[in-house]
Amino acid sequence: MAVELNLNRYVANPSPHETDFQRLERRNRERTYLVLFVHDRSLSMQCNKHWMLPVDDLVKNAGTWHERGGGAVRPEDVILAAFVSLRRIAVRQLLPVSKISLTLSRPKQPILSRPAGALQVTTMLTSTMSLF
């Protein structure tokens, strides 16, 4: 829904004729999308699921986003930019581990067709890999 509302629109060079109201509205839209991005990546990492929001130009430029506000730098924007960067780094680091975890936790044959001991080993292996 955030993408459909165009909250992720990146404006590299705002118009010099942009009013204060337009600037504040644009910054609030960008801020909202970045907060949603941080929450999306956080839930993705915690639940070992795929994320929903794409990495677009706004997210790629979030490291300097707080400096392009057109006024005084807000401390909460600096923190938000740092969170976006941290989530991008964390996802890159956890991606190989989550692929291994998903591969090892997926049974190769239906559980009902296995001997009773195989079910116990699979459960132990799955719970061990979820610690990563």
**C-alpha–C-alpha distance, residues 32 and 7, integer Å:** 7
- When divided into structural domains, the chain yields a total of 1
| Residue count of the chain | 132
Both tokens assigned to 21: 């109201």
If phi > 0 it is left, if psi is from -120 to 50 it is alpha, else beta; for residue 20 that is: alpha
Domain-embedded: residue 4? no
| Model pLDDT for residues 28-68, shown as the tens digit of each residue | 999 999 999 999 999 888 888 888 888 888 889 888 888 88
Q: What DSSP character marks residue 9?
A: -
- 91 lies in a domain? yes
Domain range spanning residue 49? 20-129
**Token pair in block for residue 124:** 């132990």
12 located within any domain: no
Residue at 61 is within a domain: yes
Would 3 be classed as within a structural domain?
A: no
pTM for this predicted structure: 0.67
